[in-house]
Amino acid sequence: MNHRHAMERTIVQSEYGLRSRGQWLALAALVAMLGVIAFTFWIGHPVEAAILGGGTLATVTGLFLARDKEAKVEEEAPPSKKPQRNKGRRNRG
């Protein structure tokens, strides 16, 4: 039982690390994209900058909505049933 608890603790810590790293990388990508948009506007292409900005905004919004929808589906899903043991009895078919 101690081993199982240690393994579950390790899994939870790993998942937290992956999610945290993913959020930081997503933030870095968003900041880089905003830099590209600002540079595009600065060099005199406001229409292209607006298209890039609109696409970025739509993508980020879509990702947030998809994440919220996925979380809601997980909350509403019924708990899975564990298979019951035969408690030492054989299944005589």
Scan for tokens 């900005």, then name that residue.
53
Q: Which two tokens stand for residue 49?
A: 């900058």
Structure confidence at residue 88 as a pLDDT band (50, 70, 90): low
Tokens 């992956």 locate to 18
Q: What is the pTM of this model?
A: 0.59
pLDDT digits (tens, 9 = 90+) for 2-52: 999 999 999 998 888 888 888 888 889 899 999 999 999 999 999 999 999
CB 34 within 8 A of CB 60: no
Over residues 43-84, the pLDDT tens digits come to: 999 999 999 999 999 988 888 888 777 777 766 766 666 556
Q: What is the pLDDT of residue 77?
A: 63
Q: How far is Cα of residue 84 from the mean position of the Cα atoms in its chain?
A: 33
Q: How far is CA 6 from CA 3, 11, 13, in A?
A: 5, 9, 11
d(CA 35, CA 29): 10
